[in-house]
Amino acid sequence: MLARVQSSGVLGIDGHPLAVEVDVSPGTNNLFMVGLPDAAVKESRERVSSAIKNSGLAYPRGNVVISLAPADRRKEGSSLDLPIAVGMLASTGQIGPGRIGEYAMVGELALDGSVRPIPGVLSMAIAVRDEGLRGILVPAENAAEAGVVPDVEAIPVRSLREAAGFLSGEETIEPCRTDTEAIYEQAKGLMPDLSEVKGQEHVKRALTVAAAGGHNILMAGPPGTGKTMLASRLPGILPDMTFEEALETTRVYSVANTPRNGQALVVARPFRAPHHTATSVSICGGGGQQPMPGEVSMAHHGVLFLDELPEFSRGALEVLRQPLEEGLVHIRRAAYSVTFPSRFMLVVAMNPCPCGYRTDPRRPCRCSPREIQRYMGRLSGPLLDRIDVHVEVPALRFEELADHRPSGSSTEEVRQTVQAARELQRRRYGRGSACNAHVESKLLREHCRLESGAERLLENAIEQLGFSARAYDKVLRLARTLADLERCEALLERHVAEAIQYRTLDRDIF
């Protein structure tokens, strides 16, 4: 008897439909599996066999042929255990055909018949919804994640027997519906507060500007001046994630099988801080037969923080150029070609020299000019060109350290300011996630009307400071953001002046 069961797989972060066909015929009790299964899928025959028997159900006798369709796509992982087992039971009449055609199913089986969680369930649930199926049977631990997707029933199952009972119509299982509003409420107030950072008001201002326009930022200064503390507070001042942004970010984390503190949906903007020994593959993604997202994708819609920037290998830094430009990572190998999203804010921190005290007035620098030149030479020009804001983080005075009062505006106050500027940009460009840092230059210049004083100041900066064409573009983008923070349509002289101050490396101050 032939049985056909719907399932789903994942490539990159996109789900795609799969079908498991099982045919049982008289023979010598052999099992044949076709359809490009990998080692984990081939091993399912032992797991499925034990799970069926230990669940008190009858294992098929005779020749069993399992076809995984489409046949030309490689099948990976253990998520096909449950549909294979259900297909065997349906082919022997132990499960009626009633609900099998309405639901897809995924899950790994333990030897006792229990269903274990798997990665990538969110993408699978979206694929099932797009296929027009009624719902999907998922492991109970993954049900809250699948329940985020509207217009599809996420049926939590804890065992093979429970799944068989539901598909036969003998049991009723309520679909899981995840309360996304409650998740957003729980995430509020969990970010560290910006006012906890002592002093550094001009750096906080630079962070506000960067957040308001989606600009990348570089902080340079001696050790212990608060660069890491400031960077860790940047996600809290960014605008709240929309549901679409949260859904896309959660898909990345689901495929990577990364812990999310028990949350079904990632609603707080990610903050990723890889160690400087990270390889280019761990930064951009890829790997072996199963492509995995890298740090640039894990930071999608959030912040990627690289501390001690010159200590990273040249290869790890150079792979950042394409994600920063396109917001996507294209990974092509002999066996696959996938694209991961990677629209993030890059925040980098570095010392001004190898010893770190070149700009510290209280401690002498021990580095020779040759050592400083070699140290700064580790950073490529094309990468630095993609960083809009350069800001110096000076050593703190004793009075600032000893002051126990909150310093400056709170995270919530700054976030509201940033939110207002982003909303202004959204209305101007007519796109949900468009911001000054990423919008096309042609469209940006249509909305950058320079007053006469601002135009003369920018002309002098180009002539006297030797700004390149890319630096000119960055100054315009920064000035547009500064004007948005003041809700000013025209770019005034003070906006251009402050934007020029944020191009420190172009003026070779460090």
Long-range contacts of 428-437 (CB under 8 A, 24+ apart): 432/242, 432/244, 433/245, 433/343, 435/213, 435/214, 436/213, 436/214, 436/215, 436/477, 436/478, 436/480, 436/481, 436/484, 437/213, 437/214, 437/215, 437/216, 437/388, 437/477, 437/481
Is the CB of residue 231 less than 8 Å from the CB of residue 349?
yes
DSSP summary character for residue 240? P
Considering the domain architecture, whether residues 240 and 345 belong to the same structural domain is answered as: yes
The helix/strand/coil state of 213 is: helix
Q: Does 302 reside within a domain?
A: yes
Q: Find the CATH number of the domain harbouring 134.
A: 3.30.230.10
> Domain of 234?
189-406
- Write down the pLDDT at residue 64: 94
- Write down the pLDDT at residue 255: 92
Considering the domain architecture, whether residues 116 and 239 belong to the same structural domain is answered as: no
Domains in the chain: how many in total?
A: 2
- Write down the pLDDT at residue 398: 65
- The residue out of 356, 376, 406 marking a domain boundary is 406
Q: Does 492 reside within a domain?
A: no
Considering the domain architecture, whether residues 150 and 199 belong to the same structural domain is answered as: no
Q: Does 117 reside within a domain?
A: yes
Q: Does 310 reside within a domain?
A: yes
Structure tokens at 354: 């190898």
Q: Does 384 reside within a domain?
A: yes
Considering the domain architecture, whether residues 72 and 214 belong to the same structural domain is answered as: no
- List, in sequence order, the alpha helices (H) in 391-506: 398-402, 411-429, 441-446, 452-465, 469-485, 493-501
- Write down the pLDDT at residue 433: 63
- Write down the pLDDT at residue 510: 46
Structure tokens at 105: 């199913």
- Write down the pLDDT at residue 216: 96
Q: Does 502 reside within a domain?
A: no
Per-residue tens of pLDDT for the chain, all 510 residues: 799 999 999 988 999 999 999 999 988 888 999 998 988 899 999 999 999 999 999 999 999 999 999 998 889 889 999 999 999 999 999 998 778 999 999 999 999 999 999 999 999 999 999 999 999 999 999 999 999 999 999 999 999 999 999 999 889 999 999 998 888 888 877 788 888 888 888 999 999 999 999 999 999 999 988 899 999 999 999 999 999 999 999 999 999 988 777 788 999 999 999 999 999 999 999 876 778 899 999 999 999 999 999 999 999 999 999 899 899 999 887 767 889 999 999 999 999 999 988 888 888 999 999 999 899 888 888 888 889 999 999 887 766 666 666 667 889 999 999 999 999 999 998 866 679 998 888 888 888 889 988 889 988 888 887 777 778 888 999 999 999 999 999 999 999 999 999 987 765 544
- Write down the pLDDT at residue 74: 87
- Write down the pLDDT at residue 458: 87
- Write down the pLDDT at residue 507: 54
Considering the domain architecture, whether residues 225 and 333 belong to the same structural domain is answered as: yes
- The residue out of 365, 380, 406 marking a domain boundary is 406
